[in-house]
Structure 1
Amino acid sequence: MSILLTGLAASSGITIAPAHLLVESDLSIKKQHTADENHEVARLHDSFALSKTELQHLSKRAHELLGQRAVTIIDTQIAILDDPTLQKKIIDRINSHHDTAEWAVKRVEDYYLSVFERKNDNEYLYARATALRDVTKRVLSHLLNVSLPDPGLLDHRAIFVANNITPTDTAQFDKRYVAGIVTTNGGRTSHFTIMSKTLSLPAVVGVKDATTIIHDGDLLIVDGIHGKVIVNPTKEEVEHYRLLAGKFIQEQQKWGALKDKQTVSADGRRFEVGANVGTFADVIDAQEDGAEGIGLLRTEFLYMSKDELPTEDQQFNAYKRFVSAMNEQRVVARTLDIGGDKKLGMVALPHEDNPYLGFRAIRIGLARPEILRPQLRALLRASVYGRLAIMFPMIATIEEFQAARAILDEEKEKLEHAGIQVAKNIEVGMMLEIPAVAVMAEHFAKYVDFFSIGSNDLIQYLFAVDRGNQQVAYLYQELHPAVLRMIRQVIEAAHAEGKWVGMCGEMANNAYAVPLLMAMGLDEFSMSSSQILRVRSLINQLNTRKLQPLVHRAIHAETAAEVRKLVEEYVPQVKL
């Protein structure tokens, strides 16, 4: 009897092959102290040097196997090894706490992971955590004299099953034999997605208990489209998925033809499908994957793993690079969104019992204008190099938006007075993440140029649910009629004032939600670049006028399950 496991689709495609478990090395460490700090520091330097040599070798291999984007990922790890701040923190622990080198490395890794990691799906932070873990694992292997597993030893076609697959693991793959990837950990991180997608490997991540349920040699079906893994499938399931795999390949060939065309529905309605990005490598992906703009530029990448706030010039140079690269396509930059579970070492934040509802995002920006003002000045200066829009996160009241907008206008006036050119057509909007704003959308719409619906937080706040908490995650329901009603209300309010509405949360690439959002009039969809062509293809096939009865029935339904069945009835394409 077959077993169905579910996770997150990290790289699209369908594959059928036996499982091969990638067993992790034992790098467990006990707390230990030393009486010879100099010896431990020397061991640390040796382990860093050996790790760098290995990564340089893997970088060359990655260039041959995967191309420049993969090399960038490996080189990021080399840069981590070369970071004097990291080495200094480890050496300081050895000297001040008399830690052994391996224990000091582990403690410093724990510190950085507490900065980078998030409970929720944030690709940039997951990517940073992944890179740090990979580097630390390599350093510890030399300190402990333990060999790391070598995926390159695989000599037959198989699907790798592991707790985690790192970028350097992927760089060692032999493309002749690796058919797909299943991991127990991880989200749709940019690093992992880049590597597996470049190899055209179907991948499903976050599959609970995969390494205990799946055994070496078990036949697997990996459905990287819908995030499914079938263990020891029946003959009927194998045949069904072989047919689906063939259809998917045909669909992919059609998608490629969409890259240089506009996204237009079957009845002639124009939509814009953009990308969520957090690094410049994501921009390269977005362009290759047919993005029509950047719907969300997470500016936090400039602040993470830094000991002090980036200067205005540092920010300007970074934003200029993003805006210039998009060739007059719109780039929507979100001002610094920290707080909650995103901490910055250089910004002291108070302890809070409920940080998700506390001092975060624009609340910090308004209270700490010495952080917000330089960022706004940098964005304004970069605006002349392309088409820039600016949005403020976590706005709860009209007064908050007006205060943030006033600071932006003041900085714009100062720059112009100083003779520094600023674009005349900058759109200024806000993230719509708080249910109170949705209720008052008709009033907010008078002041903003656009709304960008952050569906992840909006849905969490609407249902009072932490979707990272497995006990209550079932309450996070993107297709629930309450969510649909709220979104429709926002879109109608914005359009009544002649304003546009986008969405940059996970709901924007949910194939079941796309037809509903189209029919309700959402103007812009923004998502991980790997999903863009799939969504654009779906939009091209659908007629928004013919979908109106679906919307009417969906908003009057009682449950998310009922809405899902309605979508399947009206739009059978969503099943692929």
Structure 2
Amino acid sequence: MDSVRSDSRIFRGIGASPGIAIGTVRMTDRGRVVVAETAIAPEEVPHEVERFTAALSKARADLSSLKQQFASTHGPEHLYVIDTHLLILEDGMLIQGTVELIERERINAEAALKRNILKFKEFFSGIEDEYLRERCGDIETVAERLLRNMIGTRHEPIASIEGGKMVVIAHDLSPTDVLQIDKSKVVGFVTDLGGKTSHTSILARALEIPAVVGLETVTAEEIDGLPVIVDGTAGTVVVNPDQETFRDYLRRKQHYEYLEREFLKLRDMPAETPDGHRIALMGNVEFIEEIPSLKGHGGEGVGLYRTEMLYMNRQGLPDEEEQYLVYSAIVEKMAPLPVTIRTLDVGGDKFAADLHLEDEMNPALGLRAIRLSLRKPEVFKTQLRAILRASVRGRVRLFFPMISGIEEVRSARRLLDEAKEELRQAGLPFDDGIEVGIMIEIPSAVVIADLLAREVDFFSIGTNDLIQYSLAIDRTNEHLAHLYQPLHPAILRSLKMVVDAAHAAGIRVCMCGEMAGEAAYLPVLLGLGFDELSMTSVSIPRVKKILRRASRADAGRLVARALSYSTAAEVENFLKGEISARFSESFD
């Protein structure tokens, strides 16, 4: 917390959903349920088990009712999160684990559930990937609902909030809370808990509600009823702003909303430079509820659909039919635009039930992604059959993650051929000409990109891991964050090598890492010759605006200059100067 004046305070958290909201604080009780552990007599065990199962039944009924209620106000794509929570309520580890603790430890049902949830938290706490780590939040949200059912307490419904231009501040908000928000009354929200990739944050972005999360103790402040500013882009919350600060943020809000309107005017216009070069601007998607936002921002397809969520928060592995239904829903929602599905990318650092993964000393370099899929061919082929079956519902492409050499590509394609033959034998239709690509995210794949290009239909560069592996940087280590440099000469040369190899072989190349959505990098990526860029939906309009003002020829000269520098700092300074001179108004 920083001090501006005695009665004005600034809090900084995580910008979860962009935009600026100006309103009045409405504190709402969304704190965690406090549970006391109580020993029970043997004859009380059946009663405690019954209390737990009754809480499960009530939670299922409540969520089903909410789903039906929201169906009239939200499209089905936003209700997927409720389905996720309903699935958690059927999870064997959640149910059996809690019942066994009641019976074995002879403790009350609330305490048994709390203990069981701690096991889930231990599983997820060591996960490197932020997106997957945040999935534990869904389990905790469901557990809180069960605990409230057992002790007979309930939260004030978000939908019942009266007044206008309110900013909800809470310890935590569930995705169903966000779905209840009436934007004519609530203009933004702030929470102690949460991360950028939580379900709550994803929904806030999809519904375009400015939000800041992860402030840890903001609900301990005496600020109810005070004026507040929420900057969901910067992750800043200003409580009781002075007049100068208020006017400054009001100007920023007006400017932000003006730019958004201007950017969205380009939604249906081609992502093309004045000298005729097209780049497909696509979206990175985890859930079907993100599709309307992707379309609304002018996305030309899904450049990366992550499938890991299907393997999380459950006891058993998803079968072919379940996967087919999920993939088909995404594909049909996007049709006729393409959906690019990445096969399973989990390993020792990403929890996936029933895969029986052993702990590894260095999971980032261990049995993960394509290595794990090839080690478990039946699990892999189940996923491949589901993707192939979904391919007749629209345009589908699939690609394999963490490829390091030719042998892996050929082995994966052999299993794909086997999956196709099994579908033929079963009389199930699929697109026999489905495009097959690979992720380029390991230095060895960069070096042999010319050889790999002969084996596949397209490349997709995952810059997050490519930078991490190339520079030997753990991007989650705060002490090394300054060394995570997308403009490092080694990274720029690697990107050029991959793009050149792809084009020499006549295949397309996409980038789906965070670098793709940074508008400041667009001139470099244009100059390098990328055919597709995949990013978060809200980044697409800004990138498109810059692209439509850029020149491919000028970008090529810019890249040639950038490649002549020796350090990332030199490249960055040069690029800042070029951006400032040519596109300054697009970065305000």
TM-score by length of 1: 0.87
1:483-516 per-position Cα deviation (integer Å, ceiling 9, x unaligned): 3332222212222222211122222212222332
Where does residue 81 of structure 2 map in the other structure?
A: 73
**Of residues 535, 539, 542 in structure 1, which corresponds to 2:543?**
535
**Of residues 93, 113, 138 in structure 2, which corresponds to 1:131?**
138
| 1:232-311 equivalence runs, <5 A | 235-311=243-319
Where does residue 575 of structure 1 map in the other structure?
A: 587
- CA change 1:326–1:22 in 2 (3 A) is same
Q: Does the 8 Å contact 1:214/1:231 carry over to 2? A: no
- CA change 1:568–1:5 in 2 (3 A) is farther
Shift of 1:541: 3.3
Shift of 1:361: 0.8
Q: Give the distance between the partners of 2:165 and 2:426, measured in 1 at CA.
A: 64
Q: Give the distance between the partners of 2:583 and 2:396, measured in 1 at CA.
A: 35
Q: Does the 8 Å contact 2:420/2:432 carry over to 1? A: no
Q: Give the distance between the partners of 2:468 and 2:116, measured in 1 at CA.
A: 32
Shift of 1:351: 1.6
Where does residue 29 of structure 1 map in the other structure?
A: 35
Q: Does the 8 Å contact 1:298/1:334 carry over to 2? A: yes
Shift of 1:431: 0.8
**Of residues 84, 87, 104 in structure 1, which corresponds to 2:95?**
87
1:140-195 per-position Cα deviation (integer Å, ceiling 9, x unaligned): 12434555465545656443344433223334545344232234543333632454
Partner amino acid for 2:22? Answer: I
- CA change 1:170–1:317 in 2 (3 A) is closer
**Of residues 429, 439, 453 in structure 1, which corresponds to 2:437?**
429
SS at 1:307 equivalent: coil
Larger deviation, residues 60-69 vs 310-319: 60-69
Partner amino acid for 1:325? Answer: K
Q: Give the distance between the partners of 2:171 and 2:530, measured in 1 at CA.
A: 38
1:515-550 per-position Cα deviation (integer Å, ceiling 9, x unaligned): 321222111111233433343333333333333344
Shift of 1:569: 4.2
Larger deviation, residues 361-370 vs 276-285: 276-285
Larger deviation, residues 192-201 vs 132-141: 192-201
Q: Give the distance between the partners of 2:401 and 2:339, measured in 1 at CA.
A: 16
SS at 2:254 equivalent: helix
**Of residues 336, 344, 352 in structure 1, which corresponds to 2:344?**
336
Partner amino acid for 1:436? Answer: S
1:525 equivalent in alignment to 2:533: yes
Partner amino acid for 2:21? Answer: T
1:287-317 per-position Cα deviation (integer Å, ceiling 9, x unaligned): 3443211111222233223433333344334
Where does residue 195 of structure 2 map in the other structure?
A: 187
SS at 1:493 equivalent: helix
Q: Give the distance between the partners of 1:229 and 1:541, measured in 2 at CA.
A: 34
Q: Does the 8 Å contact 2:88/2:313 carry over to 1? A: no
Where does residue 562 of structure 1 map in the other structure?
A: 573
Shift of 1:263: 1.9
- CA change 1:418–1:472 in 2 (3 A) is same
Q: Give the distance between the partners of 2:428 and 2:82, measured in 1 at CA.
A: 38
SS at 2:473 equivalent: coil
**Of residues 343, 356, 361 in structure 2, which corresponds to 1:353?**
361
Q: Give the distance between the partners of 2:239 and 2:574, measured in 1 at CA.
A: 29
1:306-331 per-position Cα deviation (integer Å, ceiling 9, x unaligned): 43333334433443343333323222
Q: Does the 8 Å contact 2:283/2:537 carry over to 1? A: yes
Partner amino acid for 2:576? Answer: K
Where does residue 109 of structure 2 map in the other structure?
A: 101
Where does residue 140 of structure 1 map in the other structure?
A: 147
Q: Does the 8 Å contact 1:185/1:206 carry over to 2? A: yes
- CA change 1:78–1:47 in 2 (3 A) is same
Partner amino acid for 1:164? Answer: D
Partner amino acid for 1:558? Answer: T
Larger deviation, residues 280-289 vs 147-156: 147-156
- CA change 1:340–1:511 in 2 (3 A) is farther
Where does residue 452 of structure 1 map in the other structure?
A: 460
SS at 2:552 equivalent: coil
Q: Give the distance between the partners of 2:488 and 2:87, measured in 1 at CA.
A: 45
1:544-571 per-position Cα deviation (integer Å, ceiling 9, x unaligned): 3333344344442623553663334443
Q: Does the 8 Å contact 2:546/2:583 carry over to 1? A: no
Q: Give the distance between the partners of 1:336 and 1:389, measured in 2 at CA.
A: 14
Q: Give the distance between the partners of 1:390 and 1:293, measured in 2 at CA.
A: 13
Larger deviation, residues 550-559 vs 51-60: 51-60
Q: Give the distance between the partners of 1:153 and 1:295, measured in 2 at CA.
A: 39
SS at 1:489 equivalent: helix
Partner amino acid for 2:417? Answer: D
Q: Does the 8 Å contact 1:27/1:146 carry over to 2? A: no
Q: Does the 8 Å contact 2:31/2:172 carry over to 1? A: no
Shift of 1:459: 1.8
Percent identical pairs in the alignment equals: 37
Where does residue 47 of structure 1 map in the other structure?
A: 55
Q: Does the 8 Å contact 1:17/1:159 carry over to 2? A: yes
Shift of 1:572: 1.3
Q: Give the distance between the partners of 1:573 and 1:121, measured in 2 at CA.
A: 34
1:256-283 per-position Cα deviation (integer Å, ceiling 9, x unaligned): 4444443222332111122222333334
Shift of 1:346: 0.8
Q: Give the distance between the partners of 1:73 and 1:216, measured in 2 at CA.
A: 30
SS at 1:308 equivalent: coil
- CA change 1:382–1:30 in 2 (3 A) is same
SS at 2:335 equivalent: coil
SS at 2:553 equivalent: coil
1:327 equivalent in alignment to 2:338: no
| 1:203-218 equivalence runs, <5 A | 203-207=211-215, 215-216=223-224
Larger deviation, residues 331-340 vs 108-117: 108-117
Partner amino acid for 2:335? Answer: N
Where does residue 16 of structure 1 map in the other structure?
A: 22
Partner amino acid for 1:407? Answer: L
1:115-158 per-position Cα deviation (integer Å, ceiling 9, x unaligned): 566755554663x4333222211221243455546554565644
SS at 2:436 equivalent: strand
- CA change 1:100–1:477 in 2 (3 A) is farther
Where does residue 493 of structure 1 map in the other structure?
A: 501
Q: Does the 8 Å contact 1:65/1:171 carry over to 2? A: no
Q: Give the distance between the partners of 1:331 and 1:461, measured in 2 at CA.
A: 27
Partner amino acid for 1:575? Answer: F
Partner amino acid for 1:222? Answer: V
Where does residue 475 of structure 1 map in the other structure?
A: 483
Q: Give the distance between the partners of 1:69 and 1:264, measured in 2 at CA.
A: 30
Q: Does the 8 Å contact 1:124/1:279 carry over to 2? A: no
Partner amino acid for 1:141? Answer: R
Q: Does the 8 Å contact 2:24/2:225 carry over to 1? A: yes
Larger deviation, residues 402-411 vs 112-121: 112-121
1:95-118 per-position Cα deviation (integer Å, ceiling 9, x unaligned): 233232012211332334455667
1:371 equivalent in alignment to 2:379: yes
Q: Give the distance between the partners of 2:419 and 2:63, measured in 1 at CA.
A: 44
TM-score by length of 2: 0.86
Larger deviation, residues 147-156 vs 451-460: 147-156
1:407 equivalent in alignment to 2:415: yes
Gap regions ≥5 residues in structure 2: none
Q: Give the distance between the partners of 1:190 and 1:538, measured in 2 at CA.
A: 30
SS at 1:344 equivalent: coil
Q: Does the 8 Å contact 1:25/1:147 carry over to 2? A: no
RMSD: 3.3
Shift of 1:369: 1.4
- CA change 1:71–1:342 in 2 (3 A) is same
Q: Give the distance between the partners of 1:79 and 1:418, measured in 2 at CA.
A: 29
